[in-house]
Chain A
Amino acid sequence: MPQTAIIKQKKERSINNAFASHYAKSMFLTVSALILLSFIGTRMFTHIDLNLYGYMVGTIVFIGGFFYRFIAWGERPPTKIFIKKGLKLLFRPTTAKTSVDHLAIYNFIWNRGIYRWTQHILIGWGCILSCFVTFPLVFGWMYFTMEENGYYTVVALGMNILHVKADGVLAFFFYNALNFTAVMVIIGVCMALYRRLKNMQARAEQKFMYDFLPLYLLLLVAITGLLLTFMNIFLHGQGQPIMSLIHQYAVIVTLIYLPFGKLAHIPFRPLSVFVKNYREHYAKRSMKECKVCSESFVSTEQSNDVREVLGTNDIHFDMEDGFNLAELCLPCRRKYRISRFSGIATHEIKVKETNQNAKG
């Protein structure tokens, strides 16, 4: 009894108990961090760009939805296991290479086709670079000041880090960064739309709301953004105030929609790095051998994890013959299934499966 009392007391003192839920805690910490960073970045709130305050509110609503989705997703038994074990294995030497492969250059999409890779890199990097520009501007982590000497000062997190000539090359790229990324996104989205209209494989399965809507949203954001520049340069700013509201509206709707539709694969994709680490690490540690043919086919750890996950769903594959289906390698599992239908022990006949792949 005294021991349980001590544990109880310790638990009550944990900071987690100050919050109603995981969700509340994550939200509190994130908003606090945003406010703190903005406080530092804007030199104690003296350099806030109030033009962008709509985006600020939109981002906070987005974070609310994002955490809701992410935490609900992370609570699923299989996801939880990968996140937990993936975090422990985060500092493996191969993490950097895998991350670049999966998250920066999309090697696996290259293998699905060069056209798809090109469209994905244009859309993906167009969006990522745009975020790198806009989020710091919205929260005041980065801003520009100009004295009357023809030089801009780039201020990042409250520190002067760079002086650039106002009509220099570098400044040109600063002003037009979002125009370049908008062009990238527009080209990428058009390629994606063209593929969805022409490719029979894609046409078989696509749905308007799931596959097309996100593309149209990105297109709307990119085009209205480019129109702002167009109106400034060619129309002397005519219509610009209205267009900036339309653009703002498009961006905020896309942001809030992001965690709930097809675009949710962006925040979820890093889990593939965790998974690669997990598979490599545990495969080295010990492999599971097939009960019938003794060939190793998966790490013992993953085999146990999958069985545990299925157990939480009340799915058990214990056979009358005294083994669990998870103990068989995949060809043996298929043959065992045939043997259950026919009554002949196909899986124990030492003949390899052949002629299973038709050439399309």
Chain B
Amino acid sequence: MKKRLYLELENCIGCRSCLAACTQCGGHEERNRNYVYDVNPLVNRQTMPLMCLHCVNPACARSCPAQAIQIHETGAVLSALVEKCIGCQNCTIACPYGIPKFDTEQNLMYKCDLCIDRTKDGIPPMCASVCPTNTLQWLTDEEIENKKQHNLDNGKWVTSMPYLEGETNVKISLPGILQGVTKLF
């Protein structure tokens, strides 16, 4: 059963377990590839994680002159192939979410590969497997369908239901905390 990463953004408590777990994934060479942001830092403590959303038509791969960013059969947009990346940083400029990181010393881009050594065998990615608040979940399409949908089509809140700038393999939702909906875990 094909599963995908599903984010319920407001569940995030800012513990940064996902960052720490990311460093421990095979092939990540102990550097994390995701972000956690304070939403309104001078006012409250709400945080939200931001990771690669694995676009169906990824701008990073389209802008790569060396074909270094490959798309896996599971839909994951992989990190740059180390022998191919020529260090032009086109991908960092193309990405609509500012995800790819660049190492100047190694002349190499690296980004979330959805822990491909795990997810290709159906094991959840490191970030989802450690998230203590169910912000990051690893679900089938059916399970995502069954999540209570919120009417978010008000121009203020945007999620990937249906789409962001383009279709993404990672799905994003808001459980409604910001909208004042009480959430029962």
Contacts and interface: CB of A to CB of B under 8 A. Distances in A.
Given A203-B26, A343-B156, A334 B50 contact: yes
A279 B42 contact: no
B96 A333 contact: yes
B82 A112 contact: yes
Given A204-B117, A268-B66, A358-B20, A341 B174 contact: yes
Contacts of B95: 333
Query: Which residue, of B16, B90, B95, B117, has the highest number of chain A Cβ atoms within 10 A?
Result: B90
B5 to A, nearest CB: 15
A306 interface: yes
A338 B37 contact: yes
Interface string B8-42: 01100000100110111111111110011111111
Contacts of A332: 98
Contacts of A276: 87
A355 interface: yes
A351 B41 CA distance: 7
Contacts of B105: 108, 111
A360 B96 contact: no
Contact of B32 (A275, A331, A337, A357): A357
A171 interface: no
Contact of A338 (B28, B48, B86): B48
Interface in A276-301: 276, 278-279, 298
Contacts of A94: none
A306 B83 contact: no
Given A78-B65, A315-B166, A360-B24, A275 B88 contact: yes
A333 B98 contact: yes
Given A111-B106, A272-B107, A340-B158, A315 B59 contact: yes
B149 to A, nearest CB: 16
B117 to A, nearest CB: 4
Contact of B23 (A108, A310, A317, A360): A360
Given A78-B90, A82-B88, A346-B40, A360 B65 contact: no
A326 B65 contact: no
Contacts of B57: 313, 315
Contact of A315 (B28, B62, B116, B174): B62
B42 A337 contact: no
3 smallest A-B Cβ distances: which pairs? A204-B26, A360-B30, A360-B23
Given A341-B172, A357-B31, 6 more contacts: A82-B88, A108-B106, A111-B106, A334-B99, A342-B39, A346-B40
Interface of B: 9-10, 16, 19-20, 22-32, 35-42, 46, 48, 50, 57, 59, 62-67, 82-84, 86-90, 92-99, 105-108, 116-117, 156-159, 164-166, 172, 174, 178
22 contacts: A76-B67, A111-B105, A111-B106, A200-B26, A203-B26, A205-B26, A269-B86, A272-B87, A279-B88, A305-B90, A310-B94, A313-B57, A315-B59, A335-B37, A337-B98, A338-B48, A342-B39, A343-B156, A346-B40, A349-B40, A356-B32, A356-B36
